[in-house]
Structure 1
Amino acid sequence: MDFERDIIEQIDKVFADAWEGGRNTLYEHEVYEILKNIGIAVPQYIFVRNYESINEKLLRQFRHEVMIKVVSPDIAHKQKVGGVKIARRVEPLFLQRALRRMERNILSLFSHEEKPRIDGFLLVEFIEYSQAIGNEFMIGCEEDLSFGPVVAVSKGGSDAAFFAKYYDSANVFLPPLNQKQSLTLANSLKIVNKFKEGGHPEYITFMAEAISAYSKLAHHYSIASKNKPKYFIKKMEINPLVITDNRRFIALDGYAEFAPANKGQQLTFSVCDSYLEHFFRPKNIAIIDVSTSPDDSDVGRVITKRMQWS
């Protein structure tokens, strides 16, 4: 289930360039570069250091509108400061003026001492899709010192956290998963019923392929990996991963935190997936409780009742 050496080298270079630039986080276009290498589709995009470098040749890959975004290590929420816009005209002079205006407006929001560093701008293909339930997904991973990397799949979009909290919690698993295992996981998601009833069972395969590729990435760059990676992914998220109107399955946004391997920690033991399966999905459970309370308020009885209700 390992990636080819040339793919690892290209991904390592993305991490290396960011680290040499004084960052332990990746910019959106750097996440795009990693996702492309592992086979997850991303929009067409261009990163420019300054807006004067935009010309007709650079813009040939864009057919319609583009998203323009500021790239800065000091701005966590780009939309809040006006750092994300839709450009309806894909013309060099128009885009140069739009980016110049964006930069000026953003910097005007900060005092001289607090002005953010702007490293450039990102031009991204504008992707049209419906935000109906089932068209947006989130895949994320986070390093856990006890289990290694833990991957979660859930509804995506701006309301992903709210939906997971109140309606349908994320599906959590330990990577890596091969194609067959990923397909089994995808079929366990409630949303696949919509795909089947809507006549699009191929969407389940799209999801499984993305889950498998992402799980391999999360495992390779982790403290649980036996491949001795140069970097560890501490946290990474693709949100949203969408189904477009023309049936593309594509990652629109991403975020990642990482650290050089020599700065992180290695697991001092091997994780046994079969034991964890019994832990997270037990078929039987024993409850041992010692209490002098004659009523139903002691912990053992409470746990037993809750298990019966579930």
Structure 2
Amino acid sequence: MTSETHLHSFFYPETVAVIGASATPGKVGHTIVTNMIGAGFHGTLLPVNPKGGEIEGLPVTTDIADLPRGLDLAVISVPPHFVVPAIEALGERGAKSAIVITAGFKEAGKDGHVLEQEIRALCEKYDMALLGPNCLGMMNAAHGVNASFGSGHPNPGSIAFFSQSGALCVAILDWALGANVGFSKFISLGNKAVLDEADMLYFLNKDEETKVILGYIENVEHGESFLKAAYATSLNKPVIMIKSGTTAAGAKAASSHTGAIAGSDQSYSAAFQQSGVIRVNDVASLFNLAQAFSCQPLPKGPNLAVVTNSGGPGILTADAADRSSLSMAALSQKTIQRLQEFLPSYAAFYNPVDIVGDANAARYRQTLDVVSEDPMVHSILVLLTPTASVEIDQTADAVIHMARKCGKPVFACFMGKTRVASARKKLMDAGIPCYAFPEPAVHSIEAMYDYYLWKNRSTPEFVQIERDVEQAREVVRAHIRRNQAEIVEFEAQQVLKAYGLPTPKTVLARSSDEAVAAADAMGYPVVLKIASPDISHKSDVGGVEINLWNAKEVLKSFKTMTARAQRMRRDAYLAGCLVQEMAPAGVQEVIIGFKRDEEFGPMLMFGLGGIYVEILKDISFKLAPLSRQDAFDIVREIKSYMLLKGLKGGQAVNFAALEHIIMAMSQMSLDLPEVWEAEFNPVLVNHERAMVADVRMTIRLQDC
């Protein structure tokens, strides 16, 4: 993590050198110089080029060694093979930070990757903050810094934006200039050799000029530091992000349901959710939310009031609210009576409040004053369609007047384009988000309310599960010594015991006589499962028989099952069969698993068994460690949760017992880092108890 002092020098430099400055218009080294001048930089700007002379009236320094010591920021735009010596020379001069604009590093292949590693090592040696390489640069509009080769200067504002894609930065900058959107900071991360998303989040969290933080990311290389930074920042101000590359294409083959289902996108969704990051899927939503968060207070409740001059858009808004976490506010009787005093008899007095198509600005103003005073209303959305009689600009004035005095979040949706253009600009300039259609407006309000709930939730409680870690680790170590990647059920049972997890009565029978004796002692019916360290998928060899009701059936099944397994898997060592008690009637089957994500570590999965996980993919995910609330939520986030809660008078399952098993798996994933995947499948749960009926674990031997 780069020091806070160096990041301050980076964003608020007093001395800036441009290494590779050029007198030729159109060259990157020339654009950086002119951008710094055009941004109104008031500090010392030092172009550096061996040719000397002047650039834009500034004297050119011919050698980095001649620069003043303790330089705040150097912007480097020279060919790749000159970058490393430039960084070393700057380090010798005590430079605090640098931006490497130049491309041709790890994105260009092996040789470029080696150069980038050298840059990182030099920055560590000289304690230098570095942005890039292969980036557009950085802008701080309020401080007159445009250390980039972008076109145009953003207006000062309260929104910070960082992106791994320089091309996206260029497009968004151009859009922002056209939409009059201002930025506090505008950062192109590039290859992230030193500075990354976590560094940006830590700094922007404390930056008084920044109210909202936006990010576009393609990957996170240091998941733990990102999660810590995102969580700490989200407690203070909203962080809104787009993550590209959302498919699991190219993921490594997995040996379990969890491994097959838990792809990259699920890990990022879980990371964002648990750290408070608000995720969007497109750039339009990114900036819709940015403008809403930057200029409106958070809704303190879910109740939305809608005032409209057209019934159709009002219904669309109500539909969108019904699909969200918001509710259409039930207006009080007092509010309805007050509306009835001045609205036409053919108006709709209930929410949405339809003041009909002939409404003028005065009717809007009076209605908004009444609705905004209702204590059951937490946020207000004003809809307008450009009818022949509506006073568009005056209605915008009425909305602004109401918003300034009501203290609640106010949003507008002025539908259309040409006739509403000036009113929409007036609203936006006054800090009232205005949308072309109702759905994105509702989405923005919902995101703000969800963020309010996240900020105001109770402090997460993490608990330690009682366990014998050494016993569990010895099972893992034994498999590593034998070079066995799979820990199958009859051996994994020892791990379950180490964590005190409930299991059905289970006995390893090495002969048919032992199997019958175990079944007799256990009581019928029973289940028989093949026991072999070399057979992880028992069903592939017909290695499971259920509902065995007597000794004769157990005897026959044991002999048939072991013979079949020996025939189908001649290489497998057969230890015998597990005799296990049958699950009681009325149990639900669920799956609890984890897969170790490359960036974020263990990711837990929960879902119902059978078609719910196989076909419907009705699954929820969380990253370890899980708090009590996380364990509570992961069960309730699946769509089929109501089946566990009990339908039509049915009994709810024992959620506390289920959550305990989930917490134990979370703890296990942290205790046993060599285990790459694990799965309890099925876990049997009813209203009385939950127990792990089968378990498998996978070790990634190449990491051991």
**TM-score of the aligned structures, taking structure 1 as reference length:** 0.65
Deviations 1:7-63 (A, max 9, x none): 11221232234444542211213333323432432111011344454574x456512
After TM superposition, which residue ranges in structure 1, 4 or more long, deviate above 4 angstroms?
52-55, 58-61, 196-202
Partner of residue 235, structure 1: 677
Runs of 5+ in structure 1 lacking a partner? Answer: 223-231, 266-310
Aligned pair 1:255/2:255, yes or no? no
Listed as ranges, the matches of 1:47-86 within 5 Å are: 47-51=508-512, 53-54=514-515, 56=517, 58-59=518-519, 61-86=521-546
Counterpart contact for 2:604–2:622, Cα < 8 Å: yes
Q: Is 1:123 aligned with 2:579?
A: yes
- Between the aligned partners of 1:25 and 1:3, the Cα distance in structure 2 is 25
Question: Take 1:75 and 1:32, find their aligned partners in 2: how far apart are those partners?
Answer: 15
Q: CA deviation at 1:216?
A: 1.3
1:264 aligns with: 703
- Please list, as runs of the form range in 1=range in 2, the aligned pairs for 1:1-310 lying within 5 A after superposition: 1-4=463-466, 7-51=468-512, 53-54=514-515, 56=517, 58-59=518-519, 61-86=521-546, 88-89=548-549, 91=551, 95-109=554-568, 114=570, 116-130=572-586, 135-157=588-610, 160-164=613-617, 168=618, 170-194=619-643, 195=645, 198=649, 200=651, 203-222=654-673, 232-244=674-686, 247-259=688-700, 264=703
Q: In the TM superposition, what is the alpha-carbon distance from 1:101 to its structure 2 partner? A: 3.0
SS of 1:136's partner is: strand
- 1:283 is aligned to none
Residues 21 and 47 of structure 1: CA distance in aligned 2, closer, same or farther (over 3 Å): farther
Is the Cα contact below 8 Å between 1:31 and 1:254 reproduced in 2? yes
Measured in 2, the distance between the counterparts of 1:60 and 1:108 equals: 28
User: 8 Å contact 1:66–1:87 — kept in the other structure?
Assistant: yes
How far is 1:158 from its partner? 6.1
- Deviation, structure 1 residue 149: 1.0
Output the amino acid matched with 1:128.
P
Higher RCO (Cα < 8 Å, 6 or more apart): 1
Distance 1:78 1:178, change over 3 A: same
Structure 2 vs 1, CA of residues 18 and 122 (structure 1 numbering), >3 Å: closer, same or farther?
farther
| 1:53–1:39 distance in 2 versus 1, CA, 3 Å | closer
The residue identity in structure 1 corresponding to 2:698 is E
Cα RMSD, aligned residues only = 3.1
Partner Cα distance (2:684, 2:689) in 1:
8
Change (3 A) 1:52 1:22: farther
| Partner secondary structure for residue 176 of structure 1 | coil
Closer/same/farther in 2, CA of residues 153 and 21 from structure 1, 3 Å limit: same
- What is the alpha-carbon distance in structure 2 between the residues aligned to residue 79 and residue 99 of structure 1? 15
When residues 39 and 201 of structure 1 are mapped into structure 2, their CA distance, relative to the original with a 3 A threshold, is: farther
Aligned AA for 1:13? E
| 8 Å CA contact 2:606, 2:635 repeated in 1 | no
Letter in 2 for 1:209: H
Residue deviations 1:181-239 (CA, integer Å, cap 9, x gap): 322433444444441664645633233222212111112223xxxxxxxxx11011112
Q: Do the aligned partners of residues 189 and 87 (structure 1) sit closer, same or farther apart at CA in structure 2, a change above 3 Å counting?
A: closer
C-alpha distance in structure 1 between counterparts of 2:548 and 2:646, whole Å? 36
Matched-pair contact (CA < 8 Å) for 1:71–1:118: yes
User: 8 Å contact 1:155–1:163 — kept in the other structure?
Assistant: no
Q: Secondary structure at the match of 2:476?
A: helix
How many residue pairs end up in the alignment?
A: 240
- The 1:80/1:53 distance shift into structure 2, 3 A limit, reads same
Task: Verify the 8 A CA contact 1:137 1:155 in the aligned structure 2.
Answer: yes
**CA contact under 8 A between 2:607 and 2:613: conserved in structure 1?**
yes
TM-superposed CA distance for 1:142, in Å, is 0.8
Change in 2 beyond 3 A, CA 1:201/1:94 = closer
Measure, in 1, the Cα distance between the counterparts of 2:497 and 2:634: 23
Distance 1:103 1:237, change over 3 A: same
> CA separation in 2, counterparts of 1:203 and 1:89?
28
Superimposed CA distance per residue, residues 228-278 of structure 1 (whole angstroms, 9 cap, x where no aligned partner): xxxx1101111221224x633122222111257xx627xxxxxxxxxxxxx
**Any unmatched runs of 5+ in structure 2?**
1-462
Are the structure 2 counterparts of residues 216 and 106 from structure 1 closer, same or farther at C-alpha, using a change threshold of 3 Å? closer
Matching residue's letter, 2:703: G
Q: Deviations over 1:95-121 (max 9, x none)?
A: 4453223222333456xxx55432322
SS at match of 1:163: coil
Larger Rg: 2
Question: 2:450 maps to what in 1?
Answer: none
Corresponding residue of 2:372: none
Write the distance in 1 (CA, Å) between the matches of 2:640 and 2:501.
20
Q: What is the rounded CA distance, in whole Å, between the counterparts of 2:480 and 2:600 in structure 1?
A: 26
Q: Percent identity?
A: 22
1:172 Cα shift? 1.3
